[in-house]
Amino acid sequence: MKHLVLLLMIGFSLMGCSSFQARDLSLKALSIADCPSSPNCVSSQSKSSSHKVEPLKFEGTLKEFQHFAEFVQNQLPRTEMIRMEGPYVHFIVTSKVFRFKDDVEFYFLESDSLIHLRSASRLGYSDLGVNRARVEQLEKILLKFKTPKKNPLVIGHRGASGYRPEHTLEAYTLAIEMGADFIEPDLVSTKDGVLIARHENEISETTDVAEKFPSRKTKKIIDGESITGWFAEDFTLQEIKTLKAKERLSFRSQNYNGQFLIPTFEEVLNLAKTESLKRSKTIGVYPETKHPSYFQSLNLPLDQRLVQNLKSAGLDPLKNPVFIQSFEPSILQALKTQTTEPLILLIGDLTQVPFDLKKTSNKMTYQQLLSDKSMSELKNYISGIGFHKSHLLNSDLIERAHKQNLLVHVYTFRSDKTYLDAKYQGRPELEYLEFFQLGVDGVFSDFPDDAIKARALYLKPSSH
């Protein structure tokens, strides 16, 4: 009894008011006369049921409510809500209290399995003055939170490129072993028209070409940019096959430099097909056409060769599904007439015009391509959009793309300290979880094992 009295005395002292009922977190009755006349002000004691703040039913545990609160924060702009560290001294509250910028707060009582809302903007906490729009917003987010979670795809970006030199059969195989749903080869052409897997047609950063062919160094204009180096289109496949891959990034392991060959697209497709049969597992392939307008100008069209390779491979669409992606809309439009595989438009710097559109009268930036009107036209030939992570935070792009029935895939997730945002405190799973909670349909990752672990955590029934 002494302890209870002491708790009550401390509570009264910290609240600084003469009436405990005025601040009671159980939302005790208060006079409707205290509520402002604004139509958005609602009171639980209003004689009109339309002005009543009803708690939100939450069928879950205290831990699950904590996940919901984090989900709310991820659904709103960063400046919209302030996280309260609570719980306050009120022994009624069993959860932390979360406050919006307009001083509307919400918290969870395990005793009644309800999320309560109140206003902290007047003397004494109550449900008076709670903005109706805020209640509806929280209801909408709660409905989304309750919706069964989708199983986002994990795409091995250039293979498991965080562990092996990118775009090698060994990197792709490791990604498959780690559980990736898709492997992603970037495609450029050799001089004799064979598609090979390289991130760029300038290949000195990822191969030993400079040591083996020093005299072949040259300067070219690629998509309007002057670049000096060694270019895939200047070498035959036979010459390419004399090269060995190396790690592009200095802060990643260099232990595998000089060990692996440069694969053709045909070899990548055969790997996916073989590994799928071996593991009785669906393994998709997600090729990207690199600089398609440039290669078209050299009479080395990427689209036709890509489609030919896919047909020759004879992939079973149930075992080896395919997405085809590009930063240039024109090649996707061309591919739409040649294949039934789903096409994905990649989005670059929002202020830039895709290179292929620069030569047309329709010089739309990526930002303009993302208007509702433009997306409704894009869906005539694409099945989804590949966004950079920065495009999606604090934006409505996911919701608007989904309204057009377009998939949303996101690039690129990297666990390296150099890349991982400091706000995740060295825990890459937190970054994945943030984007999974936003509702993305797939992620490109250099570290597929981290992506798989994060997805498993996300899909656990008790986590969001």
Tens-place pLDDT, residues 387-446: 999 999 989 999 999 999 999 999 999 999 999 999 999 999 999 999 998 999 999 999
**What per-residue confidence (pLDDT) applies to 135?**
84
Strands 407-413 and 384-388: parallel
| DSSP letter for each residue of 90-157 | -TT--S--EEETTSEEEEEETTTTEEEEEE-SSSS-BSTTEEHHHHHHHHHHHHHHHSPPP--EEEEE
Q: 127-180, pLDDT tens digit by residue?
A: 666 777 888 888 888 887 777 778 999 999 999 999 999 999 999 999 999 999
Average pLDDT over residues 187-201: 98
Residue ranges matching CATH 3.20.20.190 in the chain: 153-459
Is 11's pLDDT higher than 70? Answer: no
Average pLDDT over residues 279-304: 97
Q: 300-310, pLDDT tens digit by residue?
A: 999 999 999 99
**Could you give the CA distance from residue 210 to residue 219 in angstroms, rounded to a whole number?**
14
Closest CA to 187 of 171, 173, 198, 172: 198
Residue position matching structure tokens 């008790």: 462
Is 41's pLDDT higher than 50? Answer: no
**What per-residue confidence (pLDDT) applies to 38?**
39
Tell me phi and psi for residue 298, to 5 degrees.
-95, 5
**What per-residue confidence (pLDDT) applies to 407?**
97
Element (H, E) at 11: helix 2-15
**Could you give the CA distance from residue 273 to residue 288 in angstroms, rounded to a whole number?**
18
Rounded alpha-carbon distances, angstroms, from residue 403 to 146, 225, 293: 19, 37, 31
Is 8's pLDDT higher than 60? Answer: no
- CA dihedral angle for residue 54, residue 59, residue 61, residue 62, rounded to 10 degrees: -20
**What per-residue confidence (pLDDT) applies to 294?**
98
**Could you give the CA distance from residue 129 to residue 195 in angstroms, rounded to a whole number?**
64
Contacts (Cβ under 8 Å, ≥6 apart) of 384: 323, 342, 344, 345, 401, 406, 407, 408, 409, 441
**What per-residue confidence (pLDDT) applies to 125?**
58
Lowest mean pLDDT among 59-63, 192-196, 322-326, 343-347: 59-63
Confidence of residue 124 (pLDDT cuts 50, 70, 90): low
Is 374's pLDDT higher than 90? Answer: yes
The DSSP bridge partners found for residue 109 are 114
> Which residues are annotated as catalytic?
157, 199
Q: Which fold has domain 153-459?
A: TIM Barrel (3.20.20)
The DSSP bridge partners found for residue 221 are 226
- CA dihedral angle for residue 393, residue 396, residue 398, residue 400, rounded to 10 degrees: -160
**Could you give the CA distance from residue 455 to residue 307 in angstroms, rounded to a whole number?**
32
Contacts (Cβ under 8 Å, ≥6 apart) of 402: 408, 439
**What per-residue confidence (pLDDT) applies to 302?**
98
Strands (E), 217-347: 218-222, 225-229, 284-285, 288-289, 324-326, 343-346
**The token pair that represents 1 in the structure block:** 């009894």
